[in-house]
Amino acid sequence: MQSDTRGLAALLLVTAVWGTTFPAMKLLSGHLDALQIIWLRFAIALLVLAPLWPGMRPSERRWGLLLGALLFLAFWLQIEGLVRTSSNRNAFVTGLNVLVVPLLAMLALRRRYGWRLWAACALACLGMALMFHEDGPWNLGDTLTLCSTAFYATYILTLEAAARRNAAAPLRAARLAAAQAGVMCVAAFALLLVRHGHAWSTGMGALSGPAWAALLYLGLLASVLVVTLQAWGQQRVDALRSAIIFGLEPVFAAVTAWLLLGERMGAVALAGAALVVLALIWSQWQPPRPAP
């Protein structure tokens, strides 16, 4: 699987949109619980993508169901974490999937990495310590977000595996996204019924105009477009090269939270955030080889 400039551009757009979703989810988390947000978001996405189900190939359905299950767990834990921590902290802990991806690849797939990765891990830990020293100690929300990060790193590696194993007949990105939206919608609704019973829709009818606008943004742009673009982009860019692009997500998230939510980061926290981003990028940077 060779890198493609269009694939990199698609993943950069995915990352930029991801960064803008944190304030939207933070707004909604004040009215709805995590399962309600996921169900409404992907119900909207499924309405748009449902016409693609009839023409889906068996391989697209199988991979889509597996990816949808991983994505559901990542989203659920991320939103549960976001309820308990700030938008900025949630975004930066989520961004650590750039380090978790190569660590999982090394442990599960026997891939080898050098000292640069371990140095980046130490740098990221130092950056997080600076961030949380100023903004309060590590909390349950941060732990849930870190668990979400592990599932999302698994999702990224699984997308790469799907592309590699179907290179002869590439999976169609929009149909793969449709299968994932179906899993997300069904899983969220089933757990809503288990958790809340007949009161599963509590709070939905009283949503404000801005809350519905946030839901439409999440459902259409951040789900239909982003899930499709990520599937398309990762068929052209391997998981580790994708990771360096995803490392920019906390930057977009911090800027959006500052503009829309008024969240501020002091000098120490900003220095820590800069170290995290530096670690994320450095962990994936490949110095050019000298010419023979």
Confirm whether 148 is domain-assigned.
Answer: yes
* Residue in 261, 279, 233 with CA at minimum distance from that of residue 122: 279
Give me the pLDDT at residue 157, please: 93
Among 9-18, 81-90, 251-260, top mean pLDDT goes to 9-18
Residue 1 DSSP symbol: -
Confirm whether 292 is domain-assigned.
Answer: no
- What is the per-residue pLDDT across 145-166, written as a single tens digit (0 to 9) for each? 999 999 999 999 999 899 889 9
Give the pLDDT band of residue 288 (cuts 50, 70, 90).
Answer: low
Give the pLDDT band of residue 1 (cuts 50, 70, 90).
Answer: very low
Confirm whether 289 is domain-assigned.
Answer: no
In this prediction the pTM is 0.81
285/23: higher pLDDT? 23
259/220: higher pLDDT? 220
Cα separation of the two ends of the chain: 25
Confirm whether 83 is domain-assigned.
Answer: yes
C-beta neighbour count of 208 within 10 angstroms: 10
Domain that holds residue 81: 5-284
Give me the pLDDT at residue 135, please: 60
Give me the pLDDT at residue 107, please: 84
Give percent above pLDDT 70 in the chain: 87
> For residues 175 and 57, is the Cβ–Cβ distance under 8 A?
yes
Mean pLDDT over 259-272 rounds to: 74
Confirm whether 22 is domain-assigned.
Answer: yes
Q: How many domains, the chain? A: 1
Confirm whether 216 is domain-assigned.
Answer: yes
> For residues 207 and 41, is the Cβ–Cβ distance under 8 A?
no
176/281: higher pLDDT? 176
As to burial, measured by CB atoms within 10 angstroms (0-12 exposed, 13-18 middle, 19+ buried), residue 13 is middle
* Cα–Cα distance, 290 to 164 (Å, whole number): 30
Give me the pLDDT at residue 203, please: 87
Mean pLDDT of the chain: 83
Mean pLDDT over 127-153 rounds to: 81
Confirm whether 157 is domain-assigned.
Answer: yes
C-beta neighbour count of 218 within 10 angstroms: 25
Kindly tell me if the per-residue pLDDT of 274 is higher than 90.
no
Least confident of 36-40, 69-73, 132-136, 249-253: 132-136
Confirm whether 290 is domain-assigned.
Answer: no
- What is the per-residue pLDDT across 58-108, written as a single tens digit (0 to 9) for each? 999 999 999 999 999 998 998 889 888 877 678 778 777 777 888 888 888
227/85: higher pLDDT? 227
Cα angle 277-237-117, degrees, rounded to a multiple of 5: 40
